[in-house]
Structure 1
């Protein structure tokens, strides 16, 4: 079953999800690029920041989800950015771009390490390729979902669903340096303080757990969600001031050889 994305659900924690994008963008040294592309732009709220940073550039946001592109096209400030439905695995730019950004997207593409040479080839000499991926697949927010989905009641429905996957910074660094890029690589663990009922479930149900939840039939999903919420609440307890969600992210900023 192909999953779909819900822009409203995704934007529940827009500030927390947006901070890594800003940290990534801060390390891109482009001065006055003519063309900027955001691969996997989602609902477009962050793509507009690229137009703020480089107001003279032609900025394009691409995403494989029609739902996300519809939300992006209808968002405030969308007049400064073009949005199009496109699959980054097949996308090719008609002309080399000066800045190519991908924020929290490549983890959904199996074997995305093999895509890096083609993505770097889309960038003009001296241009910039920058991306950020979650590096927290070993955390309870992911392992609990995987363990529960593998139980007999659910396994037949959840087998083969899309799950995020990424590599350590050194792996990406080696791959991009091998392409002749000058690479700035790092990782950061954010401690997000979340509030509201079942906040970690709300977070993951908009991203990493969404394909699993959508794969379940209507008669099984409520029980799965109830058990999932309970296990997450044990792994991420309420601390009086909120629920702390540690979230490791991996960053790459590569300048293509001139």
Structure 2
């Protein structure tokens, strides 16, 4: 029995030796693979290039100035087409949408070449070739005391006196519904006017109303009823018919108290 165990003992040693060899080979292969992947990762992230990023949040429709941008190093693998590395390439360009702070600048954020001004960039965002940027004179109180801001939607109401039947009669009519406000003119607290996005026909009608009377603006909520703004003109006759005429169709006399003479 002893000799039997002695004969099998070398086989155990050989088996252990082969296992150790396999483990060593596997370890070497794993180390080589890890080293290869590590080298690739290092090469990927150490091969960096300068990229232009926003130094602070840049609002939409703002011309870029030098202090708004800075240059940071980006891994070459993370650089996308359209990004910039030189500040001179973007200084003076107009931003068409907000760029968050520390976000890389790219061509997608900038107004297209040939857009011209900030207003042209702004109105182009509506993607409606019929719209025009039209300045409209309004007194502060008629513009809600400066509470209207760019981006709001307003109804445009023209109030004027027109020759009807040989007599100058007041008329009021909604000219534009949910019209975009592009910018304010003058002081924000008491603007002298607004720039609206109007169709050529609306611009023509607003211009007539300005010359014949005055323009008032009605601020829309975020979810407004467009149908409610489709009104008929208010004239002396329609006003009397609606508010003063009684159910019998007779004009009611306005009762007043007679004071001392």
Whether these two folds match at TM > 0.5 is no
Larger Rg: 2
TM-score where L is the length of structure 2: 0.21
Between the two structures, name the one with larger relative contact order (CA 8 Å, sep ≥ 6): 1
